[in-house]
Structure 1
């Protein structure tokens, strides 16, 4: 009976982890440039002495959805979206380079360019700093030009160029911040083939209907596993009563 209980218990635990992954996707359905996590459940044998017949459930994340989200026009000069494939290089909270698709820009208190998540946008020589300006423009190649404060409209100065990269998506993994980094820890070089669309933002690629369907399915699985644990307990009690009578 311990086999049934072990399978049901491990299944319930892993189902809860899958529910957490699906809930995180749903929570980010409106997060700019978000990439959904994939999740799957499978049976695994328990290796070791005395456990050749035991199996347990395992929840794992085999990867992420990399298909682009919909580009939504905002008309905001501070917004831009990747055109097709590619990534924006940013500085994570740990100070290391990472990659995102989030292009809702703003200027922080230090005059540095960052996105809506507070990650500094990287240029040719690190974080991009902007002097006071009257107008800003982001070109298709990621170049940032401004009309300096008080200058004539035709006095345009090119400040920097956003670092755009094109790694193999199979080499990437998501870190705790929700940013992508290379699995081997290496840094990508800027790639001129990546272009952007100014005045637009990329929506999350989470499929809300699909995630809701998965949540319902996982909830039913969890209920079934709990019932199986209850059945195992009832069978144990019945067996105990039989032994007492004998």
Structure 2
């Protein structure tokens, strides 16, 4: 009985859907997190009667056939790169991107990763780094004795050293854009990696056409909507229950047939 395997694919799909929703809710307070959504597609169809062919030799054409679907499969888990709300922190090294763009960081293996989390700090050498110690690209070093740091909306970093009244430019932040942001591969630690699907990064200066701007002393919050997630959770739970009911009904029908054959 095909209904058993069809309903089983539905239960597997809703289990994955539930896992995606759970991960969204778990990261509701993760800086720069982008909520994910499970996408599904129907499986191959089994043809019981083909359409568009004669019903018999030299007879009329069948106007519509009978095709039975064999269930559902996972097509993708898509990250929705929608702007999150801004949270004021008052920290000079906290930065948020308003609009399109990604901060670039260098991982320990020498590769470049991308993040929307601008919770930066400095290491022992004064280099601008992430909270995990990854160096921000391009490299920016804050001079020793800096009393004030200012980051413009265009990403220019200025530092006022000691008692100097005039700040000096110590670096220029750049951000990267991608043709297909949904194709970026999440790596954990708020990092994403480019793939063949995302295309190569297009690096530019904040506030340039097509790029967002930098907001100093702010962080971008997760774009997870608790109400939306709870609604999706209830929907996934009900869909799982309905698929389990189909399995139960199919089992009872098979049991009835088995009893009648005895």
Q: TM-score, normalised by structure 1?
A: 0.82
Q: Is the 8 Å Cα contact of residues 97 and 187 (structure 1) preserved in structure 2? A: no
Residue 129 of structure 1: CA displacement?
Answer: 4.1
Q: For residues 179 and 10 of structure 2, what CA distance do their matches in structure 1 show?
A: 34
Are 2:204 and 1:190 aligned? Answer: yes
Give the greater-gyration-radius structure (CA).
2
Q: For residues 36 and 108 of structure 2, what CA distance do their matches in structure 1 show?
A: 21
> What RMSD, in angstroms, separates the aligned Cα atoms of the two structures?
2.7
What secondary structure sits across from 2:204 in the alignment? coil
Residue 155 of structure 1: CA displacement?
Answer: 5.7
Aligned residue pair count:
235
Gaps of 5+ in 1: none
Offset from partner CA, 1:95-137 (integer Å, 9 cap, x none): 32122211111224564423345543211xxx44444333322
Q: For residues 79 and 67 of structure 1, what CA distance do their matches in structure 2 show?
A: 20
What secondary structure sits across from 2:170 in the alignment? strand
Q: Is the 8 Å Cα contact of residues 12 and 222 (structure 1) preserved in structure 2? A: yes
Q: For residues 68 and 133 of structure 1, what CA distance do their matches in structure 2 show?
A: 35
Tell me what 2:254 maps to.
236
Residue 224 of structure 1: CA displacement?
Answer: 1.5
Q: For residues 208 and 94 of structure 1, what CA distance do their matches in structure 2 show?
A: 36
> Counterparts in 2 of 1:161-176, with a 5 A limit?
161-170=172-181, 172-176=183-187
Q: TM-score, normalised by structure 2?
A: 0.77
From 214, 230, 235, give the equivalent of 1:217: 235
Residue 211 of structure 1: CA displacement?
Answer: 1.0
> Counterparts in 2 of 1:40-79, with a 5 A limit?
40-45=39-44, 53=68, 55-61=70-76, 63-79=78-94
Q: Is the 8 Å Cα contact of residues 15 and 59 (structure 1) preserved in structure 2? A: no
Offset from partner CA, 1:71-95 (integer Å, 9 cap, x none): 2222211111112222211234653
Q: Is the 8 Å Cα contact of residues 84 and 223 (structure 2) preserved in structure 1? A: yes
Q: For residues 39 and 257 of structure 2, what CA distance do their matches in structure 1 show?
A: 36
Tell me what 1:180 maps to.
192
Residue 23 of structure 1: CA displacement?
Answer: 1.2
Q: For residues 9 and 173 of structure 1, what CA distance do their matches in structure 2 show?
A: 31
Tell me what 1:16 maps to.
15
